[in-house]
Structure 1
Amino acid sequence: MKNLRAYMEASFWHEKWKRGEINFHQSEANPLLTAHFEKLNLAKGSRVFLPLCGKTRDIAWLLASGYRVAGAELSAQAINDLFKELGLAPNISNVGNLTRYSADDIDIWVGDIFDVSAEYLGPINAIYDRAALVALPADMRKQYAAHLMQITGAAPQLLVSYVYDQSKIDGPPFSVNEDEVRRYYGAAYQLTSVEIRDVVGGLKGKVASTETVWLLQKTSR
């Protein structure tokens, strides 16, 4: 196995985007998003945060569906591509160690997600995490989950995770099972598994895997 820490080295992700090694990027909105997003019960105009968003087509779907989008991403190239594909000319400004790309109904912070603060981010109504938790090595996931809850006020969340035999292939995406999801989020949220499905053809075409959609709703205390 390769050194897992290398996966979160900035150079690792920058090189992937530069070389076009973006198999994780989908050309259409994720069907798990379109099937289950309504379970968050959001009013139109609600603001949805996508951590480690890349140039996902999920953003176009959310905007077209009447929601506002906030995101965080390491790669400036991905975000330049995103705005080009959306047909938007962003306003670009420096915010602390981050670069903010903004247009009508969309704000993306480029840089280290751990530099994104609640103050920078502003009010968030929900989180959609399809590619962030599963992109991080095990020793960073707890820190990430705590940070995500802190900067969003533990907003309701739609989370996608994978489960497979991690010894057979390298991540990302990494295998994150139910026990782990509950360990990170169980104290703040009520967790409901709303769909579990097999990954068609296996993960990366190499190993059998399931994909789970989690609905995380704040516990009432």
Structure 2
Amino acid sequence: MTSPDVAASGSSASAIWNLPNVLTMLRIVLVPFFVWFLVLDAPGLESAAGVWRWAAFACFAIAIYTDKLDGDIARSRGLVTDFGKIADPIADKLLTGSALVMLSILGELPWWITIVILVREWGITALRFFVIRYGVIPASKGGKLKTVVQTAAILLYLFPLTVGTAWLGIVALVVMLAAVAVTVWTGVDYVVEALKLRNAGRAASGNTGDAGDAGDPAAR
């Protein structure tokens, strides 16, 4: 006879190994391959046909598509799990963060852009954990817009033809600057929402404490 603890453990394990979570883990696994392809495309190592750049571009495109795919599947099939809620944003930040850092190392993207975006991304992640005792900050429409613009900008920078085409380079820079603007704007918005959530949580706990004291004769 299977004990309840063993059954619960098995159920938890099966929940983790659902299709959306497997796609999320695949995205994490693709990150080192993506980075390695860009390393092979570094000056002095790149192939004449730009094979490694195309490989990096394709790898990023596939990985970023799994982000949309796992979310759609999880919501449509009711497969949203605690593991997915934690692993999915981590996978996204690893992928976009590694792309930004590698583009800056290759000298194709100014470091200040990479630093601003990474500070915002990881700062907001830390902020979410800090205020989680008061509640969860929901993803906003601005946050989704930020993800779309960031993805478009990175794909433009990774596109092999951008490096040697002046007008494509200008388009990539404009889109990236737009991504920076949206990233900073949504970051400020999240900070405001976090402060509201914290203040509401503190007010609620204060009111609960007052009510408890009023009903306790010993506290009068």
TM-score normalised according to structure 1 size: 0.24
Using CA pairs below 8 Å that are at least 6 residues apart, which structure has the higher relative contact order? 2
Greater C-alpha radius of gyration: 2
Larger relative strand fraction: 1
